[in-house]
Amino acid sequence: MKRTSLITLGLFTATLVLAIACSAPEPTKTPAPRSQSEIDSKRGRPIISTVGDALRFDRAELRETNQASIKLTFVNASKIYQHNWVLVKAGTKDAVASAGAAAGAENGWIPAGDDRILAHSGLLDPGETEVVSFSAPFVGTYQFVCTFPGHAATMFGNL
């Protein structure tokens, strides 16, 4: 009887040790990988895109620091809509979008000679990409918007 108890105890202990050794380790907290957009933005090469056919940009904020000039890559990821990216002075996005609607399709929905506009892409067809190069504005917060009629209500953000 003693021998059977010792064998059973030994088997139980071996099974317990094996179960503990083979169990999954505790998950460790590691920082989430940074998106290519975040990495590129830190290098002065920000990337902004539309979110498929949703009427919004993939980022509501772009942060650029100590850059004399900026090269922004704008990607129209939509399969059906045309979009543009227009950087404007703070507080003017709605007025510029209205002026863009008045400018018409022949002007890419961008009012010509408008001093509120600091930089802009052309009107991109679905799937197109454009690099917009511009001198960095003074330190502060600026707005960006798509001026295609009806898009400005949801397609805007801050730089």
Per-residue pLDDT tens for 72-126?
999 999 999 999 999 999 999 999 999 999 999 999 999 999 999 999 999 999 9
Q: How far apart are CA 119 and CA 17, in angstroms?
A: 66
What rounded mean pLDDT belongs to the chain? 82
Kindly report the CATH class assigned to 36-158: mainly beta
Per-residue pLDDT of 122-150, as tens digits, reads 999 999 999 999 887 788 899 999 999 99
Predicted pLDDT at 136: 76
Core vs surface per residue 30-64: b (16+ CB within 10 A) or e:
eeeeeeebeebbeebbbbbbbeeeebbbbbeebee
How high is the pLDDT of residue 26? 47
Question: Which carries the bigger pLDDT value, residue 4 or residue 71?
Answer: 71
